[in-house]
Structure 1
Amino acid sequence: MTSPTPTKQYIEHCNGGYWIEGTRISLDSVVYCFLNGESPESIAQNFPLLSLEQVYGAIAFYLANREVVDAHLKAGEAEFQKLQQSCRSRNPTLYQKLKAAQAQKHGAV
């Protein structure tokens, strides 16, 4: 019989982001699912490469480091908004076409 591992790493910090160790799945993805009310079991089903243990480990990491991870998420959202605005400014015609297509899609639903 093997003895339990005293501590296990579930998250790695690499290239300015947080990742589920040994995968290409970001902690952000799991945290957003968790914050949207999904259960760990549901999250594991949505990310078949993750075990339920990894999902719980990621959630535990988030809860233990909530302030830091929330700041990381906010910075990512701000960067996304900046990029989105930059794309709109560089190609307003494309943006208008996308917006019209989105409106048409929502109108058809």
Structure 2
Amino acid sequence: MTQAVTKSKQYISKNAGCYQIQGKRVSLDSIVYLFRQGASPESIVAALPTLSLEEVYGSIAFYLGNQEIIDAYLDEGIEIFQQLQKQARDTNAELYQQISSTPAPEG
């Protein structure tokens, strides 16, 4: 018995400038960071149980096929985070000073 090949699936969508797994609230960033750290697709599914193994493999394939673009996107996100972090520290210098000078609880 011959089965028809299914059409290529779309695993990634871009919403409001962010890459997400199609139909899920999981960012591509989450998968890529785990993948870069050497996590297998099976361990990524264990860490992100709302995803199927197929979705993880599809996401990794998307990343590898668009690696230059996605790496630039991730680098930009890191830069934005660092700018916001610096701005928060500059705006709330006293609070950050108090937090850093408070001894950690013993446990």
**One fold, TM greater than 0.5?**
yes
Give, in whole Å, the separation in 2 of the partners of 1:56 and 1:36: 16
Structure-to-structure mapping, 1:31-46, within 5 angstroms:
31-46=32-47
Instruction: Tell me which stretches of 4 or more aligned residues in structure 1 moved more than 3 Å.
Output: 97-101
Percent identical pairs in the alignment equals 48
Tell me, in whole angstroms, the C-alpha distance in 2 between the residues paired with 1:43 and 1:98: 34
Q: Which residue of 1 aligns with 2:97?
A: 96
The residue type paired with residue 31 of structure 1 is V
1:56 aligns with 2:57: yes
Q: Counterpart of 1:104 in structure 2: which amino acid?
A: A
**Aligned residues: CA RMSD:** 2.0
Q: Distance in 2 between matches of 1:36 and 1:100?
A: 33
> What is the SS of the residue equivalent to 2:104?
helix
Aligned residues: 106
Q: TM-score, normalised by structure 2?
A: 0.88
Contiguous gaps of at least 5 residues in structure 2: none
Structure 1 gaps, min length 5: none
TM-score by length of 1: 0.87
